[in-house]
Amino acid sequence: MSDDDELLAAWRAGDRVAGDALIGRWFDPICRFFRSKLGDDVEDLIQRTFLDCLESRERLREASFRSFLFAVARNRLFDELRRGLRRPVDMLGTISIADLRSTPSLRVARAQSADGIVQAMQALPLDLQMTLELAYWEGLSGPEIAAVLGVSEHTVRSRLSRARALLRAQLDPALSPNSA
């Protein structure tokens, strides 16, 4: 049993200190998850994510707390994006955060000054960006990522491969000595 499992069991039994410890452990990763996609104004989303966890902690079965928490965060992110979006909901995985949160002139400026991995990642389709972040920034395993995103492990592997290729294509020209 992991530390998270032990804390979750204690939290379910009414131990508020265990709940605070569990939330404290995952607060920074959830902040990072939202900020990498939406910028700094994400406090409300973070609070709603942890509130959702609190309200549904009794229903958590089988999956790890970490997978459960990131699945809740993913759902909150999609809810937030839907609020400001007039595109069909099924397109959320195929558009990038940079497309959603900027004007055409800002997109051109960002394309001309793509000088960092975060900008390059934000240009990826959201489903690929989240898959990369969960794997490399949050250290989730393939099965955990599959549970968070609601896809098969094969899809996770495919998305990781595609995301790395797209990221490499974006970064290689910027990193080559002839690009200066």
Listed ranges 71-75, 83-87, 94-98, 154-158; the one with the highest mean pLDDT: 154-158
> What is d(CA 101, CA 97) in angstroms, rounded to the nearest whole number?
6
Mean pLDDT, to the nearest integer, of 7-13?
Answer: 84
Which of 84, 109, 127 marks a domain boundary?
Answer: 84
Per 3-state DSSP, the chain is made up of helix, strand and coil in percentages (nearest 5) of 75, 0, 25
- Find the domain containing 44 and state its range: 1-84
51-65, 101-115, 119-133: range with lowest mean pLDDT: 101-115
Mean pLDDT, to the nearest integer, of 8-37?
Answer: 89
Check whether residue 4 and residue 77 sit in a common domain: yes
pTM: 0.64
Burial class (CB in 10 A: 0-12, 13-18, 19+), 169: exposed
Listed ranges 31-45, 58-72, 115-129; the one with the highest mean pLDDT: 31-45
Q: CB count, 10 Å around CB of 51?
A: 12
Number of structural domains found in the chain: 2
Which of 84, 103, 137 marks a domain boundary?
Answer: 84
Which of 63, 84, 105 marks a domain boundary?
Answer: 84
Check whether residue 112 and residue 66 sit in a common domain: no
Both structure tokens of 62: 């089988």
Check whether residue 146 and residue 175 sit in a common domain: yes
Q: What is the residue type of 164?
A: R
